[in-house]
Structure 1
Amino acid sequence: MLYDLIGVYGKVGQSGRNDDDVYDRYSHRWTVILLGVFIIAISAKQFVGTPIECIPPSDFAGNHKAYVENYCWTHYTFSIDNTKALTRHYARDGEDSQRTPYYIWIPYILIAAALCTYLPAWLWHVIGHKATFDVPAMINHLGKMKLSNPEDRRSNLTTMAKHYEKVEQYATAKVRATDNLLKRAISACMFFAGGGLLTGIYFLIKFLYLCNSIGQFFLMNYLLKIDYWTYGQKTLQGLLVGADVIKNKDVFPRVVFCDFTIRYLGDNNLNYTVQCTLPVNLYNARIFAFYWFWLIFLTCATFYGIITWLGQMSYRGRRSFLKKHLRINRELAMTQHERQLFDSFADRYLGGDGILFLRLVAKNTNPVVAGELLGIMWDRFVAHESAVVIVAAMGNNNQSGKTLDSDTYLNGSRSGKFDDRTLPFIQPLKQE
């Protein structure tokens, strides 16, 4: 059973998806797994073990002890300073007593934290995959192809390049037909990353991951009713000086008190105050201390991931990525004409969405595959631009008087009349 549980948690955030980077996986995968382990540990102690032990009054016997413990567990308890005497000033909702009503809700608090952490990944799966094209499906298709067969590899990459072009054509036509201002606004806001709806949504999801890691502090602070902002810092200071700070009654007290009333016939009511211990708080203190440090790490890693991504998607970062892979796979001399083609290829043909897709391919499959796919895209772009020049020179009219466009020139007509045409103006760059 334990093996099955580990297998289930191992699949959290995966579901065949290869559409993110390691910084996103820290949130929607490893944080959810970590919280799942915490939930199992605390739930086992609360619902299977003994979460509370109380000392009943001396005249109680039999099932009275179980009744007292169940009552104190389901109702609130309170704690006071060990140096002060237990008087009615502290009991019965005294001003100086510290209520501890939260511990019964710890598993549900952790579940809420896990749901909030996974929410950006769910939004990306629902919205991002339908924005333009299904990135995970395309990357998985590339990952399954046979790398050892050059012909099969090139055929699959060519098919993928054609599919990308067709999807981009549909996406552009759809935006123009519906005049969707929201999509246009998202794409325009990503001008620093090359533009694109998919790029805008991807950046928004990364920003949500950062908001979640910071927002977890507010969530714990509100639900636990403690100063969770400095909790980990105080714990670390205690470890350095050799003091067990997490025993503090204001955080996770292990010794608490409980008030209850036994009602008899008439108005004869007896009030009792009993002392209880909360063994479950021994785990809660350690768990939330570790989670505090994990949230600090998660926030820093997510922020660093956003900064890194912005650098990669900047004007210089996009062109550096393209030039690096093109020079490896093609003889790119960067003449004046090639430079003009390269700028058009980077800005108009690929844009932010295309470069984001290629970077995800490089991260989740193989940089060599991404480079070969980029080379095929470049060849098709150069060939298409050459066809446009030829069609324009022919006056956009063939011998039969029918209109001829660049796609027909490149792909040929059904009769095969244009199948043997070559491109005399601009040839694809030589392969090494």
Structure 2
Amino acid sequence: MYDVFGSIRSLLKVDSVSIDNNIFRMHYKATMFILVAFSLLVTQKQYLGDPIDCIVDGVDSGIMDTYCWIHSTFTIPSLTGEVGKDIPHPGISNPQSPDKSMEVKHHKYYQWVTLFLYLQAIMFYIPRYLWKTWEGGKIKMLVMQLNSPIVDDEAKRDRKKMLVDYFVVNFHNHNFYAFRFFLCELLNFVNVVGQIYFTDRFLGYEFTTYGTRVLDYSEQELGTRMDPMDQVFPKVTKCTFHKFGSSGTVERIDGLCVLPLNIFNEKIYIFLWFWFIIVAVISGVGLLYRLSTFSSAFRQILLRTRSRLAASENVEAISRKCQIGDWFVLYQLAKNMDPLIYKEFINDLALKLQGRGPVS
């Protein structure tokens, strides 16, 4: 297990300089790690065995396994009855007397689960890639190792002066920088909602109601309930193979296939159902928070919260002059700089913006 997942530990590595926020990291770190881990898990034969095993007379088992894996298997979801008495397995009927009115459901997704999960992981990383490209190391350059409390006094004074001079020269020039980050936040929300939709299509429009049906199933009486996980991810399915007989007549051979892979798939997708909803809700709340930051009064409160050690009048003086881009860069610096050094920077910047030089 360590060999399987050891290679993806780097996805959870904490960056030395933060250029985003916790909600953003929930997408490109937590969700991406989960999807890649699940993608690797379903490929491990030592835990699952063969992904499909078919029982059939007259056809080599290896050929039948390959055929049914490629061409899909099927069940009849509307079948009801007691398993072991009326029907052999959920969704499996007597091949000699099938009810023509019953709808056959083909299952093709299982051969693509690994690739689909990996593709989803890539989609969750795209907003991070865009932001990292657009950001270009700006915050790391501005921090200049001021995130450590142990800095030589002369070096700290020089770097702090450079930072103050940079803000004075580039004041009101950070809006485009901030708006690109806000766009990436919006892309995160659009992506997670889109992933819910695409997963629903991938599973035959069963995903959006999957979680609620599983919860309802747990509250029903034991003898009357039908497990929705068996309907979406059946462990036993049917497969029909056609071949020529000895006289040239086409023979229809009915096989029974066991899908051990679905034991993991059903757990993976019930987890993802809850996880995607949680991430979508939190991302939606994050967008509401972002909209509120367009209010200068709210931005002032947030900056004061991040600059607790600085004098409140200096924070207010800066906030009154800041546009949203300037505030965003200052807020990002507050998350990365040492609090005592950031306090001195805020005080010096306030004096500089008010036309007075910083106190030596």
TM-score range, shorter chain: 0.7 to 0.9
1:118-137 alignment, distance < 5 Å = 118-127=125-134, 129-130=135-136, 134-137=138-141
CA contact (8 A) 1:359 1:370 kept: no
CA contact (8 A) 1:256 1:276 kept: yes
Change (3 A) 1:364 1:302: farther
Structure 2 letter corresponding to 1:152: A
1:401-420 alignment, distance < 5 Å = none
Give 1:235's match in structure 2, choosing from 214, 225, 239.
214
* Structure 1, 286-295 or 9-18: larger mean CA deviation: 9-18
Q: Partners in 1 of 2:252 and 2:101 — Cα distance?
A: 15
- Answer yes or no: is 1:352 the counterpart of 2:317: no
Structure 1 letter corresponding to 2:237: V
Q: Partners in 1 of 2:200 and 2:4 — Cα distance?
A: 34
- Which residue number in structure 1 is paired with residue 109 of structure 2? 102
- Which residue number in structure 1 is paired with residue 124 of structure 2? 117
Secondary structure (helix, strand or coil) at the match of 1:51 reads coil
- Which residue number in structure 1 is paired with residue 94 of structure 2? 86
CA contact (8 A) 2:189 2:284 kept: yes
- Which residue number in structure 2 is paired with residue 373 of structure 1? 345
* Structure 1, 316-325 or 283-292: larger mean CA deviation: 316-325
Structure 1 letter corresponding to 2:118: I
Secondary structure (helix, strand or coil) at the match of 1:228 reads coil
CA contact (8 A) 1:206 1:306 kept: yes
CA contact (8 A) 2:56 2:255 kept: yes
* Structure 1, 200-209 or 266-275: larger mean CA deviation: 266-275
1:222-301 alignment, distance < 5 Å = 222-241=201-220, 246-263=227-244, 267-301=248-282
Change (3 A) 1:44 1:429: same
Secondary structure (helix, strand or coil) at the match of 1:217 reads helix
- Which residue number in structure 1 is paired with residue 84 of structure 2? none
Q: Partners in 1 of 2:252 and 2:314 — Cα distance?
A: 91
Change (3 A) 1:332 1:126: closer
CA contact (8 A) 1:226 1:251 kept: no
Q: Partners in 2 of 1:249 and 1:48 — Cα distance?
A: 17
- Which residue number in structure 2 is paired with residue 76 of structure 1? 72
- After TM superposition, the score normalised by the length of structure 1 is 0.69
Q: Partners in 2 of 1:240 and 1:208 — Cα distance?
A: 37
Change (3 A) 1:327 1:288: closer
CA contact (8 A) 1:54 1:276 kept: yes
Change (3 A) 1:219 1:331: closer
Change (3 A) 1:97 1:327: closer
Q: Partners in 1 of 2:358 and 2:142 — Cα distance?
A: 26
C-alpha displacement of 1:237: 2.2
* Structure 1, 320-329 or 16-25: larger mean CA deviation: 320-329
- Answer yes or no: is 1:20 the counterpart of 2:20: yes
Structure 1 unaligned residues grouped into runs of 5+: 173-194, 386-426
Give 1:199's match in structure 2, choosing from 137, 153, 178.
178
- Which residue number in structure 1 is paired with residue 193 of structure 2? 214
Count the aligned residue pairs: 346
Q: Partners in 2 of 1:8 and 1:134 — Cα distance?
A: 27
CA contact (8 A) 1:18 1:140 kept: no
Q: Partners in 2 of 1:7 and 1:156 — Cα distance?
A: 38
CA contact (8 A) 1:17 1:136 kept: yes
C-alpha displacement of 1:306: 2.5
Q: Partners in 1 of 2:140 and 2:220 — Cα distance?
A: 50
Change (3 A) 1:207 1:369: farther
Secondary structure (helix, strand or coil) at the match of 2:206 reads coil
C-alpha displacement of 1:255: 1.1
Deviations 1:81-119 (A, max 9, x none): 25474347859x986111101111111111121111111
**Greater length-normalized contact order (CA 8 Å, ≥ 6 residues apart):** 2
Structure 2 unaligned residues grouped into runs of 5+: 82-86, 88-92
Structure 2 letter corresponding to 1:112: L
Q: Partners in 1 of 2:25 and 2:235 — Cα distance?
A: 36
Secondary structure (helix, strand or coil) at the match of 2:43 reads helix
Change (3 A) 1:197 1:347: farther
- Answer yes or no: is 1:65 the counterpart of 2:61: yes
Percent sequence identity over aligned pairs: 21
Change (3 A) 1:235 1:156: same
C-alpha displacement of 1:196: 1.1
- After TM superposition, the score normalised by the length of structure 2 is 0.82
C-alpha displacement of 1:257: 0.3
Give 2:159's match in structure 1, choosing from 141, 156, 161.
156
Q: Partners in 2 of 1:69 and 1:326 — Cα distance?
A: 65
- Which residue number in structure 2 is paired with residue 418 of structure 1? none
Q: Partners in 2 of 1:314 and 1:90 — Cα distance?
A: 66
Change (3 A) 1:327 1:303: closer
Deviations 1:289-309 (A, max 9, x none): 011111111112212222334
C-alpha displacement of 1:351: 1.9
